[in-house]
Amino acid sequence: MSEKVGVYICHCGSNIAGMVDVEEVARWAGENLNDVAVSRDYKFMCSSLGQELIEEDIKNEGLTRVVVGACSPHLHEKTFRNACEKGGLNPYLCQMASLREQISWVSTDKDRATEKSKALISGAVERVKLHEELQPTEVPVNPNTLVVGAGIAGIQSALELADAGHHVYLVEREPSIGGHMAQFDKTFPTLDCAACILTPRMSEVGDHPNITLLSYSEVEEVTGYVGNFHARLRKKARYVNEEDCTGCGICIEKCPKKVVDDVFEAGLGYRKAIYRPFPQAVPKFPVIDTESCIYFERGTCKACEKFCPTDAIDFEQKDTYIDLDVGNIVLATGYQIFDPTKIPQYGYGRLANVFTSLEFERLCNAAGPTEGKVVLRDGVTEPESVAIVHCVGSRDKRFNPHCSAICCMSALKFGHLVMEKTGAEVYSFYIDMRPIAKGYEEFYDRLLEEGMHFIRGRVAEVTDAARKPGEEGKLIVQAEDTLIGRQRRVPVDMVILMSALEPQSDARDVALQFGISCSMKGWFTERHPKLDPVATMTDGVFIAGTCQGPKDIPDSVAQGAAAAARVQGMVTIGTVEIEPVVATIHEELCSGCRICNTLCPFNAIDYDAEKEVSVINQALCKGCGTCIAACPAQAISGAHFSNGQILAELQGLLYDVFGSNGAKAPVETPEAVPA
């Protein structure tokens, strides 16, 4: 029985119609392509009126297939599938042709763009005739959620879900939650105390009945699929029994060993071998650093154990493993700071009074190693002049081409704090000033009024080599001032490097572990950069905060809440539909070579040792086709992308060679051919 195909060509305003003769394509399809019963063009097919046009034609004209020539299927395929379903047609009997991205936006010749559009529509018509009715499957959703990373984004996600009555497992690799925000002194542009904002949220997490806090723990393995994930966690030994510890701090006080704190204090302060990262840490339990503890080095001491009033110290404690079943996962693993030693001309690590932005955060923090006093490395001298260097490792093709989003505003904040605390002259060396959010431009104007000096130009060098009188004993910042067109040498006492925000060093390993993708730099990749910025291509795995890309605190909080909202929607419904466009292994043809197992980017293929064949978990499969193309025995077929469908589309694309009836001679295309 012949099909009745409806063809709908979208103008997309002028996005498509500006380069393609849309009316001509619609007319041509109706007159020249076999089995096309209806062919129309419309200004905006994705609008409610455009969708209703499809629905009415399905009902009134008896359409059995639908082709839409519009923008990318990635953007609107779901829209037109829904329109078909409302009209009473199986949604998978719809095919889209991307006339915007693949033709209009990349063409300069209107006649050739129109001809190419005809070819794409012809291919879509020939392909859709071979589409089969597919039905999605439903799976139950476990109401528990795993949130990985307990910075401000992870905290927000966990609290949103917990407050809605759902249980959350919040995992943090460090001894305390809080992330980088716990290290900050003030927040821009309001200059609110970071600890005053963050600490109450941390306390809420620690006390919430619906949150199981698993600090000093890491995810070892994740298996399963949306609604039904299984995670195995390693809870690292603190050598402190949390059930017995009261957090009194006597063990920390009595510990005789001091070491440089390279993590929380950024190398500017000291901590004990048994320590809490900071006084407001959540949880309150200390942890023993085995690499610096005298007992683990020499087998003696145990001062902490001797003085502990509740006998909570346990030197025999081992790492333990925890297995969790959850329905969804939120990744909020944060960022790391660029190492400025990679730019040796800036002198970091060589010139004493060159500081990173994170070091300065601790320097001016009232709870930091200098109790908030802005001083040089000698711990006594206040600077009389300070240079702030923007974009260190950012907007630089040698390191990170991206803008780190927060550096301009952090530099303004630092300038204000330096002037407030010391009265020093502050010079800001910037490429472009980017105060892009609410209140940011006003903060920039405030710093102009306060007397901060702005020099537009990338710094070439920071040196201590004096050339002129007045430069002795100073750091000299050399840069081109592009606004006046001359080189400048500015002698200062302190230099602050605004280091770039980078992905975590293990971001790629984490992405592989959770079955998601990341950019070349290591930022986690969202499903759609505008319409779905918190979801990933792996259903049930969401991202929030700076693991996706550089952003400030408000944006991180908003994204954490958004990820929680997406999870809560799935938990509330209780089930989730699994896309039926998946691959299938024909066991009678499978040789058990396992090539597909190693190539699958979603870890959806396992090996059945008993049957000696590979098996696809269709809940994990995304229908990408990698396994189908790689299988040497052609034992794998893909729903909605069969060989016959693809070949028919190719023959339709070549309508000017084969004619509108498809191939001159039918070509047999079996789904699988024995090796």
For residues 603 and 628, membership in a common domain is answered with yes
The string over 110-133, giving b where at least 16 C-beta atoms fall within 10 Å of a residue's C-beta and e elsewhere, is eeebbbbbbbbbbbbbbbbbbbee
What is the domain-level CATH number for residue 85? 3.40.50
Please check whether residue 661 lies inside any domain of the structure: no
Two tokens at 356? 């990173």
What is the domain-level CATH number for residue 631? 3.30.70.20
Cite the beta strand spans of 90-167 per DSSP E: 94-98, 137-140, 145-148
For residues 467 and 345, membership in a common domain is answered with yes
Average pLDDT on 286-314 reads 95
pLDDT band at 43 (very low <50, low <70, confident <90, very high): very high
Average pLDDT on 595-604 reads 89
pLDDT of residue 621: 87
Please check whether residue 660 lies inside any domain of the structure: no
pLDDT of residue 656: 83
Average pLDDT on 350-372 reads 94
How many separate domains does the chain show?
Answer: 5
pLDDT of residue 528: 86
- Considering only residues 401 and 666, tell me which one the structure prediction assigns the higher pLDDT: 401
Q: Is the pLDDT assigned to residue 669 strictly greater than 80?
A: no
What tens digit of pLDDT does each residue of 244-259 get? 999 999 999 999 999 9
H or E stretch including 425? Answer: strand 425-430
For residues 124 and 163, membership in a common domain is answered with no
Average pLDDT on 562-571 reads 96
Please check whether residue 652 lies inside any domain of the structure: no
Please check whether residue 157 lies inside any domain of the structure: yes
For residues 245 and 310, membership in a common domain is answered with yes
Share of the chain above pLDDT 90, in %: 89
Q: Which of 163-172, 347-356, 371-380, 659-668 has the lowest mean pLDDT?
A: 659-668
State which of 102, 134, 166 marks the end of a domain.
134
Residue 652's closest CA among 35, 22, 12? 35
Average pLDDT on 145-150 reads 98
In contact, 621 and 137? CB cutoff 8 Å: no
Average pLDDT on 225-241 reads 95
pLDDT of residue 619: 81
- Considering only residues 626 and 1, tell me which one the structure prediction assigns the higher pLDDT: 626
**CB-based contacts of 122, cutoff 8 Å, min separation 6:** 29, 33, 652, 653, 655, 660
What Å distances lie between residue 241 and 216, 280, 664, CA to CA? 13, 19, 78
What tens digit of pLDDT does each residue of 388-432 get? 999 999 999 999 999 999 999 999 999 999 999 999 999 999 999
Average pLDDT on 352-370 reads 94
Average pLDDT on 620-647 reads 91
Q: Is the pLDDT assigned to residue 274 strictly greater than 80?
A: yes
Domain that residue 589 falls in: 583-639
For residues 466 and 593, membership in a common domain is answered with no
For residues 361 and 420, membership in a common domain is answered with yes
Q: Please, what is the average pLDDT of the chain?
A: 93
What is the domain-level CATH number for residue 148? 3.50.50.60
CB atoms within 10 A of CB 300: 8
For residues 259 and 407, membership in a common domain is answered with no
For residues 474 and 362, membership in a common domain is answered with yes
State which of 287, 318, 349 marks the end of a domain.
318
pTM for the model stands at: 0.87
In whole angstroms, give the CA distance from residue 581 to residue 127: 15
For residues 527 and 476, membership in a common domain is answered with no
For residues 565 and 617, membership in a common domain is answered with no
Please check whether residue 273 lies inside any domain of the structure: yes
Please check whether residue 632 lies inside any domain of the structure: yes
State which of 86, 113, 134 marks the end of a domain.
134
pLDDT of residue 665: 41
pLDDT of residue 291: 94
What tens digit of pLDDT does each residue of 87-129 get? 999 999 999 999 999 999 999 999 999 999 999 999 999 999 9
Please check whether residue 511 lies inside any domain of the structure: no
Average pLDDT on 185-197 reads 93
pLDDT of residue 618: 84
pLDDT band at 530 (very low <50, low <70, confident <90, very high): confident
Q: What share of the chain is helix, strand, coil (3-state, %, to 5)?
A: 30, 25, 45
Please check whether residue 675 lies inside any domain of the structure: no
In whole angstroms, give the CA distance from residue 100 to residue 20: 9
For residues 358 and 477, membership in a common domain is answered with yes
For residues 454 and 593, membership in a common domain is answered with no
pLDDT of residue 659: 62
